Chain A
Amino acid sequence: MAEKQVSINMNIAMITNPILFQLLVGVLIGLGAGYLGSFMILKRMSLVGDVISHVALPGIALALIFEINPFFGAFAALFLAVVGIWFLEIKTELPSETLVGIFFALSLAIGILITPEPELLEALFGDITKIGSADVFMTIALIIVMFFAMFRIYRGLTLSVVSKQLAQSMGINVSKISFLFLLLVAIIVALGLKVTGIFLMGALVIVPAAAAKNISIGLARFTKLAALFGGISALGGILFANHFGLHPGPIIVLTSGVIFLLTLLFKK
C-alpha cells in the first residue's frame, strides 16, 4: 500500500514538469501580491509593504532551529509585525514609517545572525525550484481565501482611505477591516518568500502596484492591473530565469521593474 503510494507520487512528479509547478505557484503569488499591493499603496503603506518581508527572517530561523515548516515560522513573525503596525495605526494615527523602518531592519539583522548558514541564502533570496506539491496546494487554497476575503472588505478598505470618519459613520468597522487586510498581507508575504526570498518579496508587493497606478484613473483598473502585472512578472521572470539558468527571484522583481519603467511612459 505504502509502496503503491510512493510510486504514484513519483509518477506525478515525473509527469509534471517542475517548471509548471513553479509557474503555477509563481503566477498565483504574483497575482495575489500585486492585488494586495494596490491596497497597500492606496493606504499609503508602500514602505511597510516593501520592508515587511524582512521581519520574517527571525521566524524562519527559529522554525529551522526547531525543525518546523519555515512557512509557519515566517508567518508567525509576520503576524506579530502586522499586529504591531495595526496597533500603531489605530492608537496613534501617525505615520508609523520611521518606527517600522527601524524595527524591521533590526529584525533582519537578528534574523541574519541566528539563521543557520546553509539555509540563509535560500531564505534571503528564495528558491522557487525547490517547491513541492504541498506548496502548490497550500498556495492555491490561500490565494482563493485571499481573493474571497478581499472581495468582502475592499469597499470598506477604500472608503476608510477616502475618509475614516465617513466610513465609520456608515457602520464600517475600520480597525477590524484594516487588521484583516494586514493579515492577508502577512499571508501573501509568507507564501512569497519561497519565490523571491526575504529581500525581494516586498518589491513583488509594491512594484507591480506602483506600475498599475501610473496608468490608472480608477480603482477597478488599478487593482486589476496590479494583479496582472504581478502575475506577468512572475511568469516572465520564471521563464527567463529557467531559460538562461539564472536565479528566478531577482529576475521576477526585475521584470516588474521593467513593467514599471514602461508604464512611466504612459503615466496618467
Chain B
Amino acid sequence: MIRILMANQETILTVENLGVKFDNNEVLKGLSFFVKKGDVLAIVGPNGSGKSVLFRALLNLVPYSGKIQWAPGLKVSYVPQKFNIDKELPLSVQEFFKFKEKNSKKIISALKSVGITDEHHIEHHILKERLGWLSGGQLQRILIAWSIIDNPDVLLFDEPTAGIDVGGEETIYNLLKKLKDERGFTILLISHDLNIVYKYANNVICVNKEMICYGEPNSVLDPTALANLYGGEAGFYKHEHSHDH
C-alpha cells in the first residue's frame, strides 16, 4: 500500500539528458533524473564537477540542452553558494527582507520558524543589524527564513552549511528537516558531507560532469561509485554506526 502511494506521488521535476556547455567546454552531460513532491534530493560531487551549474540550469539561468520540466505553477526558492556578504555593505536585515516581503509580521514569523524565537531580540537587534555583521550560522538562518518567506514549493540550497562549524551544520540540517516536515517542501541540496546525505536525503545524484550514480543513498553510494566520483583513493564510505543519537 505504502509502495503504491509512493509511486503515485506527484512528480514535480523531470530532467532528461541535460547538458551544459560553456564556450564549447562540456560542464555537464547526459543527466537524467526526476524529483517527486516532498523529496530531499542531495547532489554530491567533487569541486568543479558542475553541481552549482546544475542548479543554475534548473533555474534557467544558463543555456542548456536536453529537457528540464517543472510541474506548472511551482514556486522555487534558491540560496546560492558562497554567500559572503561584505561587512561594509550598508544593508540591514530588515531592509533585506523588505525587498521580498513588506509585512513585518510575516518577517517575524519567518524568523521564528528558523529558530530565532525571541520577538524582542528580533525587532531590536536582528532586524536592525547589518547583514554583513551576522555570524555564519545566523546569516544562514536568515537566508533560510528569507527563502521560505513567500511560501515556495521547492527549495534549492547550494552548500547550505559552507563556512559553518560542525555543530552549527547539524543544527541547520535539523532545521531544514523540521521545515520540510512541517510545510512539505521539496528540497534539492548540494552537499559535500556524505554523512548529511545519508541522514537527510532520500535520493542522491553523484555528479562529475556526468551522472555517476542516482538512487537511494544507502543503495547507490557504494565504494565503487565513490571511487568513480572522487577518484581512486576516496577513503570514505558509509559509517556503519547509527546516526540516530
Contacts and interface: CB of A to CB of B under 8 A. Distances in A.
Interface stretch (A69-77, A124-132, A182-190, A217-225): A217-225
Give the residue among B99, B100, B130 with the most A Cβ atoms within 10 A. B99
A158 B80 contact: no
Contacts of B61: 165, 168-169
B59 interface: yes
Question: What secondary structure prevails in chain B residues at the interface with A?
Answer: loop
A162 B88 CA distance: 12
A156 to B, nearest CB: 9
Contact of B91 (A44, A165, A168, A218): A218
A62 interface: no
B200 interface: no
Interface in B62-110: 76, 78-80, 83, 85-86, 88-92, 94-96, 99-100
Contacts of B83: 163, 166
Contacts of B56: 165
Contacts of A44: 86
A159 B91 CA distance: 10
Contact of B90 (A159, A166, A218): A218
A213 B87 CA distance: 12
Contacts of B76: 169
Contacts of A219: 90-92, 95
B20 interface: no
B197 interface: no
B199 interface: no
Given A158-B99, A165-B80, A166-B79, A218 B88 contact: no
A176 interface: no
A158 B90 CA distance: 10
A42 interface: yes
Given A166-B79, A169-B80, A218-B130, A159 B94 contact: no
Interface in A209-231: 213, 216-222
Interface string B164-200: 0000000000000000000000000000000000000
A220 B95 contact: yes
Name the interface size band of chain A: 20 to 34
Interface string A138-175: 00000000000000000100110111011011100000
Contacts of B85: 162
A216 to B, nearest CB: 5
A166 B89 contact: no
Contacts of B91: 158, 162, 218-219
B92 A217 contact: yes
Nearest to A169: B78
Contact of A169 (B59, B94, B96): B59
A2 B173 CA distance: 80
B121 interface: no
B128 interface: yes
Nearest to B76: A169
A244 to B, nearest CB: 35
A134 B35 CA distance: 63
A70 to B, nearest CB: 35
B89 A161 contact: yes
B131 interface: yes
B27 to A, nearest CB: 16
B96 A217 contact: no
Contacts of B59: 168-169
A162 B90 CA distance: 11
Contacts of A166: 78-80, 83
A155 B89 contact: no
A218 B95 contact: yes
A162 B80 contact: no
A252 to B, nearest CB: 24
Given A218-B94, A222-B90, 7 more contacts: A159-B99, A161-B89, A165-B56, A165-B78, A217-B128, A218-B95, A221-B90
Interface of A: 42, 44, 155, 158-159, 161-163, 165-166, 168-170, 213, 216-222
Rank and list the top 10 A-B pairs by shortest CB-CB distance, nearest first: A218-B92, A165-B80, A169-B78, A222-B90, A219-B91, A216-B90, A219-B95, A169-B59, A168-B61, A217-B130
Interface of B: 56, 59, 61, 76, 78-80, 83, 85-86, 88-92, 94-96, 99-100, 128-131
13 contacts: A42-B89, A158-B91, A159-B99, A162-B85, A163-B83, A166-B80, A166-B83, A169-B76, A217-B128, A217-B129, A217-B130, A219-B92, A219-B95
